[in-house]
Structure 1
Amino acid sequence: MSIQRPWLANYPSGVPAEIDLQEFSSVVAVLESACERFRQRPAFSNMGKVLSYDDVDRLSRQFAAFLTGDLGLKRGDRVALMMPNVLQYPVAIFGVLRAGLTVVNTNPMYTPRELKHQLSDSGAAAIVVLDNFAATVAEVLQDSACKHVITTGLGDMLSFPKSLVTNLVVKYVKKLVPAYQIPGQIRFNDALARGAKQTFRRAELTHDDIAFLQYTGGTTGVAKGAMLTHGNLVANMQQASTWIGRNAKLGEEIIITALPLYHIFALTANGLVFMKFGGLNYLITNPRDMAGFVKELGQVPFTAITGVNTLFNGLLNTPGFDQVDFSHLHLTLGGGMAVQRAVAERWKKVTGVTLIEAYGLTETSPAACMNPLDLPEYNGAIGLPISSTEVSIQDDDGNQLPIGERGELCVRGPQVMKGYWNRPEETAKVLTGEGWLHTGDIARMDEKGYVYIVDRKKDMILVSGFNVYPNEVEDVVATHPGVLEVAAIGIPDEKSGEAVKIVVVKKDPALTADDLRAYCKANLTGYKQPRFIEFRDTLPKSNVGKILRRELRDTPKTAA
């Protein structure tokens, strides 16, 4: 298939058409390079404690030596990590990778059923878990192949006596650690001490080695492990780096990492890209505590922040956020879900910085498209295909569609996953022999190469034969001043097949369904207008704040 690349003519100055894939042989090589160049610079900060690049180098070596020396894990073995954003996380990630092993990132909020599936599916030989979530591990351990459990407290990597006080408060005052028993468990700090006595043997890794099993698709069926190789992650880091590196000052960047590092967006965009720049990842352990989050933002001269639409919206609606010092901020990157115009415009007004939308998937490590950083204002596009990336809008038969027509967004590039772990049939459904990944997103491309997401295939609402795309309805409703959050779904209707329903969280308590109907009538054509309106206190969201439309469809309530 011959692919036109109109986007290349519209790249920002200095962004190459192709990246240098050979600069780094692995994610570990990126870490080693950063530690050499920025050894005394701060790398990660959390709860008042800072780890320098030298600290990360030393501690991750110790953890790697423990895994191979004490536990006897062999190249390619899987190690699950089940923690929020704490300092143990980067130490564990880089330790696992330096040992030649594969990281299985695990959501700490998993139920026993979800964790059992992920442990058994991945065949993880070991797991590192924060005490707060260890009871879940204890419940499913006997049903998995996991032989080794490393546990850690929230304060374990803080300085004494803060480490002791933090752990005591978390366990006995806040009672956030349910009782658990795991015979033979090893404490994280003990593992580091034991590793320090072992000889660290550097694993020789290549682009083909699997770095991460990144699970995805849990809301649409059985969660599948996307096999992301060292080559995939290095490619995406290089792609993102060329895009944002022109504005980054080596060794001086401070990025707010509120999205969890177990999520591919934060892992690559924050953890790897800013490591290459010698930046500081300022870890937010509990971003849902918006008041506490805003207080922390007021204490650090941050230069960059990544997030999803709901995170930015939450910050904008938290008292005191508009008083934060944004004078150092030059990059705000939104992804993971559609950025709404109302949120983007308000962000620009409050911070003075454009909210740049990017697009990616777990299967693309994650970035595939990104808007230019010098964008003067929100444009509604997910951006241009990034360096070394091809994008094609295809019909259901795999034919490329002309510019401007809507079809499935397909992506090809060095960041596209190897496939799904032990699921060749599922892999074949989304990955063609020519390397095209079928994203399941409906999109169009304009003459300049900008890509616009219309919606997910499965989320599309069919009203009397007309396609209604939830994103469009949500974008309109979100601009109403009385609306805090909104989700649009399709529900069965005898007359039209499906009808549009919106579920709304109010900003203004006086807001009524009639207010919204009048607003939608003025802004949406007839078949797109919501027939049903429901008000709720909250919307169901994933671990990174993505609104789960499927849950709204599966648990209908009485609509107004």
Structure 2
Amino acid sequence: MDKIWLKNYPAGVPETIDPDHFSSLVDILEMSVEKYADKTAFVNMDREMSFSELGQKVEQFAAYLQGTGLKKGDAVAVMMPNILQYPVALFGILAAGMTVVNVNPLYTPRELKHQLTDSQSKGIVILENFAHTLEKVSAEVPDLELIITTQIGDMLPAPKRWVVNFVVKYVKRMVESHNLKNTVDFNHALTKGKASTYQRPELNGDDLAFLQYTGGTTGVAKGAMLSHRNMVANLEQVSSVITPIMSDGEEIIITALPLYHIFALTANCLTFLKHGGRNILITNPRDMNGFVKELEKYKFSMISGVNTLFNGLLNTRGFKDLDFSNLKVALGGGMAVQKAVAEHWERVTKSRLLEGYGLTECAPVVTVNPYDIEHYTGSIGLPVPSTEMKICDSETGEEVPLGEPGELHVKGPQVMVGYLNRPDATAESMQDGWFATGDMATCDERGYFKIVDRKKDMILVSGFNVYPNEIEDVLADHPKILESAAVGVPHESSGEVVKVFIVAKDKSLTEREVIDFSRENMTGYKVPKLVEFRDELPKSNVGKILRKELRDESDA
């Protein structure tokens, strides 16, 4: 389709970017370490790490890795939450010329074994809290040669380091006993690397930066091969749309989403490293009260999150009393941002919530709302520069008329090389450079795109398409509802009916109230026929509600 969205780009946003502006992410790291040497790069548990210190520790870790016998291009896994060791390990692996394999720390032994085996990871950097999971499968991962362990407090100054590690291990008992053999302590690796000589590898855009695994919620997780060029391109795209409202070296970004997830990895870690921002790493955002206490310490200017995180903050005591005077924008993604949540956020913070859209396979950013919008638009915004998009009939592959729903296809320099070891899956989802997202979307005459729903989540009621996002968006307006999830369950006469799972804000809420409210706001076939109340809903590592789990329960 024609790039009808270009006419709605705000001032200062270019039509295209140069994906080869930097030859690798290591070039960007080195640039920022020199340019912002005395600025703070990362903060965690009140410990600040400057860009200069980050550069030193990254070089030490890279030198250590090179001295172990691992070679350029080898895969090294990272299995940690948001702590200071994460960026050191991440950039150390990249600086050594190796490929990062991000691993969700909450993985089961089966999931961990699959990812380490599929990626042929030669090493892993793992928080000791999760070492017992690795122990159960380490003998079954033939390529794993190097295991580096660390404790939560290892990069904090003494005596705080000792206290934190003692409390985590012996008071809160968050570290299960394990018997992993031949492990190396993270701080020992840095010390050894300091005494070694770092060899800067030759890197270009075709070298793999990340093997980033898809969530696996619709089947076995697949490794998206993201090259340095893919990542550099997406950083240039993100920079181009936010630079007009950014002050290099001055921004404070709240990073509550896990850095091992592609959204926070690009939007927070890499983008703000490039622009000299201060990243506040939140280790446990599920502790909402503790999270709000941490936010009290900083006059933050930006924050990223998913709908459930924003909603959780808005419903946590003390959040509305924070100082939002420096807050420029909140970036929402990962799942649909609900209108009620966005409008509530704008009322409380007096700032904009920009919804965007991305996928692991696209490094991840594909669209974002313009920085100059005044209010929530209900859309995922406009394609970022150098990105083509079209909406196709999922059966025929032909483009649909403007305004009609269909499957969203994306083309651009941020689109992955392909899926590791899965030529069939790559061929199925990628044709002539176009990536078929599996998301159903529409586009209006201004070039604004809107996600209707995941193709796999769509509910079919008597031949009518029902989109869970729409139902959940309506229910979010009910004053007694905190969260909801809609799924389709089999029905003899209509094929499927709508079932909703509700987490009530007010426990007096009844099934009849939910159905009556739905009937007032939706057409008949969309109205839930079944209502089930829950204390909580299953969520992914970034807080995305897992409809598939609820659907599987209902089908059982």
Q: Say whether the fold is shared (TM-score over 0.5).
A: yes
Percent identity for Structure 1 against Structure 2: 59
Aligned residues: 554
CA distance in 2 between partners of 1:307 and 1:149 (Å)? 31
CA distance in 2 between partners of 1:74 and 1:106 (Å)? 21
Relative to structure 1, the CA distance from residue 157 to residue 217 in structure 2 (aligned partners, 3 Å threshold; closer, same or farther) is: closer
- Summarize deviations over 1:284-311 as a string: whole Å, max 9, x none: 0000000000000011111100000000
Taking the TM superposition and a 5 Å limit, the aligned residue runs for 1:271-420 are 271-395=269-393, 396-420=395-419
Q: Do 2:123 and 2:146's aligned partners in 1 also have CA atoms closer than 8 Å?
A: yes
2:116 is aligned with 1:119: yes
Name the structure 1 match of 2:534: 536
Shift, 1:402, TM fit: 2.0
Name the structure 2 match of 1:99: 96
3-state SS in 2 of match to 1:245? helix
Name the structure 2 match of 1:150: 148
Taking the TM superposition and a 5 Å limit, the aligned residue runs for 1:481-560 are 481-556=479-554
CA distance in 2 between partners of 1:60 and 1:105 (Å)? 17
Shift, 1:368, TM fit: 0.3
- The one-letter amino acid of 1:371's match is N
Shift, 1:217, TM fit: 4.1
In structure 2, which of residues 171, 185, 194 is the aligned counterpart of residue 173 of structure 1?
171
- Summarize deviations over 1:38-93 as a string: whole Å, max 9, x none: 01100000001011000110000000000011x11101100000000000000000
CA distance in 2 between partners of 1:333 and 1:149 (Å)? 35
CA distance in 1 between partners of 2:428 and 2:543 (Å)? 27
Unaligned runs of 5+ in 1: none
CA distance in 2 between partners of 1:414 and 1:382 (Å)? 20
2:50 is aligned with 1:52: yes
CA distance in 2 between partners of 1:272 and 1:120 (Å)? 27
Q: Do 2:459 and 2:488's aligned partners in 1 also have CA atoms closer than 8 Å?
A: yes
Deviates more, 1:255-264 or 1:371-380: 371-380
Normalised by the length of structure 1, the TM-score is 0.98
- The one-letter amino acid of 1:241's match is S
Shift, 1:20, TM fit: 2.1
Normalised by the length of structure 2, the TM-score is 0.99
After superposition, the CA RMSD in angstroms is 0.9
CA distance in 2 between partners of 1:158 and 1:219 (Å)? 36
CA distance in 2 between partners of 1:48 and 1:499 (Å)? 50
In structure 2, which of residues 128, 135, 138 is the aligned counterpart of residue 138 of structure 1?
135
CA distance in 1 between partners of 2:54 and 2:227 (Å)? 22
- The one-letter amino acid of 1:215's match is Y
Shift, 1:557, TM fit: 9.1
Q: Do 2:485 and 2:502's aligned partners in 1 also have CA atoms closer than 8 Å?
A: yes
CA distance in 2 between partners of 1:176 and 1:126 (Å)? 24
Moved over 4 A (4+): none
Name the structure 2 match of 1:230: 228
- Summarize deviations over 1:314-334 as a string: whole Å, max 9, x none: 101111110111011001000
CA distance in 2 between partners of 1:532 and 1:459 (Å)? 17
Taking the TM superposition and a 5 Å limit, the aligned residue runs for 1:69-88 are 69=67, 71-88=68-85
Unaligned runs of 5+ in 2: none
3-state SS in 2 of match to 1:556? helix
- The one-letter amino acid of 1:35's match is V
CA distance in 1 between partners of 2:140 and 2:18 (Å)? 44
- Summarize deviations over 1:501-549 as a string: whole Å, max 9, x none: 1100000111111111111111000001001111000000001000000
3-state SS in 2 of match to 1:397? coil
Taking the TM superposition and a 5 Å limit, the aligned residue runs for 1:187-226 are 187-226=185-224
